[in-house]
Structure 1
Amino acid sequence: MNILREKQRALGWMPCKGGGSSTSSSEISYPDEIKPLLSNVANLSTDLYNKQWQGYGSPRYADLNDTQQQALQGIADRATGGSQLWGQAQGSLQQMMGDQQNPYLDQQVANAQKSLVDSYNLTTKPQLESAMVGSGSFGNSGLQQMQQQSQNQLQQNLGNVATQMYGDAFNTNQANRLQALGMAQGFANQDYTDLNQLLGAGNTYQDQAQNNADFAYDQWQQQQDDPYRKLQAMTGVMSGTAGSTTTTKQSGGK
């Protein structure tokens, strides 16, 4: 019998003392000042449910701007067509890198050798001839040997002058080649340096345009979320003030 009573109590009704039964029901109740929100919540929920999907109409990303396109086109043109500035400088650079002869070098060597010969003729040779005359014999073997050695020394000095001057000119020419190679690389890269600077400026413009696009999208998204925030606020107030009312009804009995 006790088990039966527990089942009846769980179903919400109990037998009356006089043989009848009773039923109870519960319902959520709200304060009077909250009840107007029920209509608002219902209407807003219905509007949101019936609302058609709405895409964002403005651009979400910043496309390449004119400055970037100009820079990229310039880089492509430079890579495929070469540099106009390099074309103008190429002739002079090739001359510096070539094996052309110094038009003044031969004359400089000749002048240096002539200076040695003149010095010999004006100093060494007269001294030797004077010594031979003073000896009373032009056949003096010792003086002849000295004269021969002096002439040999002159020839060696003439050769040394030519070797040193031509060698210095060669080394200078090699140094000019290396310098010209560095200049050529500088000329070739300068166009890319300028275009990369231009591209950097275009990137700055694009970053700012993207910031503007992100801000506009954020404002639009907040506008889309505004009804949901209002609905959440209203339902939060309602759930915090809701109460429960239990009603019991009896039937039957004697």
Structure 2
Amino acid sequence: MSGGGGSGSTTQTQALPGYAQPYAQQILQRGSDLSQQQMPQYGGQLVAGLTDGQQSAISGINNQAGQQNPTLNAANSAVQGAVSNASTPYQTSNQYIGQNVQASQNPYATMQNPYLDAQVSKAQTDLTNQYKNGTAAQTMAQFRNAGAFGGSAMQQYQDQQNTNLGNDLTNVESQLRGNAYANTQQAAGQQAALNTQTNLANQSNNLNATQAQNALNSQNYQNAQGNALAAAGLAPSLNAANYYGYQQQLGAGQTQQQTDQNQLSGQYQQWYNQAYSPYQQLGVLQSALQGALGNGSQGVTTSTQSGGSGWGNLLGGGLALGGGLLKAFG
């Protein structure tokens, strides 16, 4: 600080103590020398580039993404087939539909009994013989013993017996022929019932076979649809598997890249420590001087001189310069 004017003026200055002035001068000298030098510039590599593995993986992924994927194409076709309900390939036929079973024919249902006439003749002959040997003989003996043989009473009695014989012969024939007819009708009825049962069984079998075929076709269709959709659901996983090797290669390359980056960072740190060592040393010297002076305020002496002297201010500026250099490069 100065006051007054002219050559007779007095100047009040603040000066460092004597023990601090050599260090202040040293700070100024080092700062001056460093200011004359070019700032250190690191010429090495700072960022690690892609490794061969990364470049190979990226190239493979790009090629894979740009190509037609048969897995996804097949899945797309399967989905389209499921949506279009293309059920024709899943149709099956039942060979038993329409194959009717014929009822067995009873040969006695329409066949006349070839032995019927012989049976009738035999029965009538037996009755006639029984009449001759039994009834007729007894009648003749009866009337002969009574002394009325050949009379009208005998004739009437024989006529009645002959009528009875004729009725018996007719009844035997009617009974035999009626039984044969009844047997034929029974066989015909059984045949008709069998034919009806066979027709109903054929209808039931055809219905069951048709329902079984429809159920099988439906099940086949549902299975085919489900298989198609399940295959389509696996397509993304299968497609991702195509990239698995590249992803593994890319991960290994990233590990290598990080290792390279750590090495580059370590090399830069070594260069930095060496290149900026002078500035750090200057900062250490400045910090030591500031600590000794109590941040520049303790131990400073004040004097009044004639004329002007800026030495103290210059030293103070040197301290500020050293601190600025340390902050700029520390």
Q: Shared fold (TM-score greater than 0.5)?
A: yes
Query: How far 1:143 sits from its partner (Å)?
Result: 4.8
Q: Which residue of 1 aligns with 2:54?
A: 68
Q: Which residue of 2 aligns with 1:26?
A: 13
Query: How far 1:86 sits from its partner (Å)?
Result: 4.5
8 A Cα contact 2:103 2:195, kept in partner: no
CA distance 1:238–1:189, shift in 2 (3 Å): closer
Question: How many angstroms apart in 2 are the aligned matches of 1:196 and 1:162?
Answer: 51
Query: How far 1:69 sits from its partner (Å)?
Result: 0.8
Question: How many angstroms apart in 2 are the aligned matches of 1:140 and 1:237?
Answer: 134
8 A Cα contact 1:75 1:192, kept in partner: yes
Q: Which residue of 2 aligns with 1:3?
A: none
Residues 68-125 of structure 1: CA deviation (Å, up to 9, x unaligned): 1111101111011245x859x96xx97xx7968479x55xx44xx39x97xx96xx95
Question: How many angstroms apart in 1 are the aligned matches of 2:36 and 2:51?
Answer: 40
Query: How far 1:216 sits from its partner (Å)?
Result: 3.0
Q: Which residue of 2 aligns with 1:49?
A: 35
| SS in structure 2 at match of 1:41 | helix
Give the AA of the match of 1:47. D
Is 1:37 the equivalent of 2:23?
yes
Query: How far 1:45 sits from its partner (Å)?
Result: 1.0
Question: How many angstroms apart in 2 are the aligned matches of 1:225 and 1:43?
Answer: 17
Question: How many angstroms apart in 1 are the aligned matches of 2:274 and 2:106?
Answer: 117
Is 1:136 the equivalent of 2:193?
no
8 A Cα contact 1:12 1:25, kept in partner: no
Give the AA of the match of 2:213. A
Question: How many angstroms apart in 2 are the aligned matches of 1:12 and 1:237?
Answer: 39
Query: How far 1:220 sits from its partner (Å)?
Result: 3.0
Question: How many angstroms apart in 2 are the aligned matches of 1:36 and 1:178?
Answer: 90
| SS in structure 1 at match of 2:188 | coil
Question: How many angstroms apart in 1 are the aligned matches of 2:224 and 2:10?
Answer: 117
| SS in structure 2 at match of 1:26 | strand
Equivalences for 1:3-18 in 2 at 5 Å? 10-11=3-4
Give the AA of the match of 1:59. Q
Question: How many angstroms apart in 1 are the aligned matches of 2:185 and 2:258?
Answer: 100
8 A Cα contact 2:3 2:10, kept in partner: no
Equivalences for 1:38-187 in 2 at 5 Å? 38-82=24-68, 86=71, 101=89, 109-110=94-95, 113=96, 135-138=186-189, 142-187=193-238
Give the AA of the match of 1:244. T
Which one has the bigger strand percentage? Answer: 1
CA distance 1:135–1:179, shift in 2 (3 Å): farther
Q: Which residue of 1 aligns with 2:288?
A: 237
Give the AA of the match of 2:245. D
Question: How many angstroms apart in 1 are the aligned matches of 2:106 and 2:34?
Answer: 128
| SS in structure 1 at match of 2:39 | coil
